[in-house]
């Protein structure tokens, strides 16, 4: 019998707040978490970002004091989200012990390393200290979560730029369908740092104002930070232990553009193959899809290629399929984006709320027939949705998520 992949727990940290309820409220209200950059000084074109508020709720997981003292922001985001997700799923110590953990990361504790370098240059520290470098490896957030929560199963960290945690979810779903794991923690976590901020700004990829995906005047993306964790579980296993199934991961697909180091393929050839593969894996006809949580970065190239793909796959029905970009609210959280947007999509299915595209004033003239859910969230009953992520270097991942019993 084919195994079905259930989502039984959710956790999230973003500019909209430190838990799933805060995200859900922010989606419905259409709050924008993008504001002036405060974490570090940057001299360039852009100066806004979606920072996680300082008063972020803590987590009550057990870690030794020395490790706790050295955690990076990316580690703390991941821990808070994992703690929420494990509580939500009702995973006790024995279920966590046998779980697998797949994570996505692009810079992990880079900001702490940058700070160590700054202190050394400013003469505040006489030498580089090993403790300030321990958060640098991309595998650290996954290591910290597994240590804190006692997760002893298979573990891996993917770094495929902005699709990293979408790929982690896909790896988790495959581990379950192939019988390699019954419970998987899929983790995405990234924090703002100078490297990515200055890098994206130098590429002229940042909108000087809060990003405006799909708007005719969009000028680029806004960077964000945060983490999300989804507890994935063999649906039979979830049923047997009486866990609440919040959604199903019904399909997944990945592809590579093999086109350019930063630009997407102009017609979105790779993104289209990922979307078609995800629908095929889930045996989901395109007409069953009721909502698209787009990659929607807000760059001219991405949005154009993405709408071209959606037009090709959904055809004349596309105006009836709401499309929105959660990045307009929480910024582009890089490795965390795929998981945060998967959580937003599960919230949409479960609570019947279409997440909006905020900051959208006037869409591209050619896209006026499309429904971008402008300004605020909208009540709607949804059965099946897709969420897409595309990363630098042409890494595409699409996930199909469904309400339990919808397929």
Partner 1 sequence: MDAGALRTEVKELLATGLRLELAPSDIPDESPIFGDGLGLDSIDALELVVLVEEKFHVSIPDEEVGRQAFASVSALVQFILSERAR
Any idea which residues carry the catalytic annotation?
A: 162, 295, 332
CB of residue 162 to partner 1, shortest distance in Å? 32
Nearer to partner 1, 143 or 162 (CB): 143
CB of residue 65 to partner 1, shortest distance in Å? 3
CA distance 389 to 252: 11
CB of residue 124 to partner 1, shortest distance in Å? 11
Nearer to partner 1, 43 or 127 (CB): 127
Let me know: does 76 contact 139? Beta carbons within 8 Å.
no
CB of residue 240 to partner 1, shortest distance in Å? 40
**In 3D, which of 156, 181, 153, 183 has the Cα closest to residue 168?**
156
**In 3D, which of 380, 297, 387 has the Cα closest to residue 344?**
387
Q: With helix as H, strand as E and coil as C, how does 234-303 read?
A: EHHHHHHCCCCCCEEEEEEEEEECCCCCCCCCCCCHHHHHHHHHHHHHCCCCHHHCCEEECCCCCCHHHH
User: Which residues are at the interface with partner 1 (CB under 8 A)?
Assistant: 64-67, 69-70, 126-127, 129-131, 134
Let me know: does 310 contact 295? Beta carbons within 8 Å.
no
Question: Structure tokens of 32?
Answer: 């924008």
Let me know: does 187 contact 158? Beta carbons within 8 Å.
no
Nearer to partner 1, 6 or 134 (CB): 134
Let me know: does 98 contact 183? Beta carbons within 8 Å.
yes
- Give the alpha-carbon dihedral of 47, 52, 54, 57, to 10 degrees: 180
């Amino acid at each position: 019998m084919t195994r079905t992949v259930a989502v039984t727990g959710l956790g999230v940290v973003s500019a909209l707040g430190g838990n799933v309820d805060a995200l859900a409220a922010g989606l419905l209200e259409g709050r924008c978490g993008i504001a002036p950059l405060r974490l570090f000084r940057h001299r360039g074109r852009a100066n806004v970002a979606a920072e996680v508020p300082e008063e972020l709720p803590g987590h009550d997981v057990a870690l030794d004091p020395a490790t706790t003292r050295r955690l990076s922001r990316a580690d703390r985001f991941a821990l808070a989200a994992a703690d929420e997700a494990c509580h939500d799923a009702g995973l006790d110590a024995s279920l966590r012990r046998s779980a697998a953990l797949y994570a996505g990361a692009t810079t992990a504790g880079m900001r702490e390393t940058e700070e160590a370098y700054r202190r050394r240059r400013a003469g505040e520290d006489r030498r580089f200290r090993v403790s300030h470098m321990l958060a640098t490896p991309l595998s650290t957030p996954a290591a910290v979560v597994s240590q804190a929560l006692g997760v002893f199963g298979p573990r891996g960290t993917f770094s495929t730029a902005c699709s990293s945690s979408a790929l982690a979810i896909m790896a988790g779903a495959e581990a379950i369908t192939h019988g390699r794991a019954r419970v998987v923690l899929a983790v995405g976590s990234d924090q703002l740092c100078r490297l990515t901020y200055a890098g994206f700004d130098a590429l002229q990829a940042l909108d000087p104002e809060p990003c405006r995906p799909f708007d005719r005047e969009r000028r680029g993306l806004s960077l964000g930070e945060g983490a999300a964790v989804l507890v994935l579980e063999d649906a039979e296993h979830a049923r047997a232990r009486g866990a609440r199934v919040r959604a199903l991961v019904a399909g997944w697909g990945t592809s590579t553009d093999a086109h350019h180091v930063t630009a997407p393929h102009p017609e979105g050839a790779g993104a289209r193959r990922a979307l078609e593969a995800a629908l095929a894996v889930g045996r989901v006809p395109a007409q069953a899809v009721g909502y698209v949580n787009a990659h929607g970065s807000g760059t001219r190239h991405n949005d154009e290629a993405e709408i071209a793909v959606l037009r090709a796959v959904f055809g004349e029905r596309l105006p009836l399929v709401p499309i929105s970009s959660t990045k307009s609210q929480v910024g582009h959280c890089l490795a965390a984006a795929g998981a945060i947007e998967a959580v937003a999509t599960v919230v949409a299915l479960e609570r019947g709320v279409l997440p909006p595209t905020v900051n959208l004033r006037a869409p591209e003239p050619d896209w006026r027939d499309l429904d971008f859910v402008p300004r605020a969230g909208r009540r709607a009953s949804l059965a099946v949705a897709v969420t897409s992520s595309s990363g630098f270097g042409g890494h595409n991942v699409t996930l199909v998520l469904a309400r339990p019993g919808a397929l």
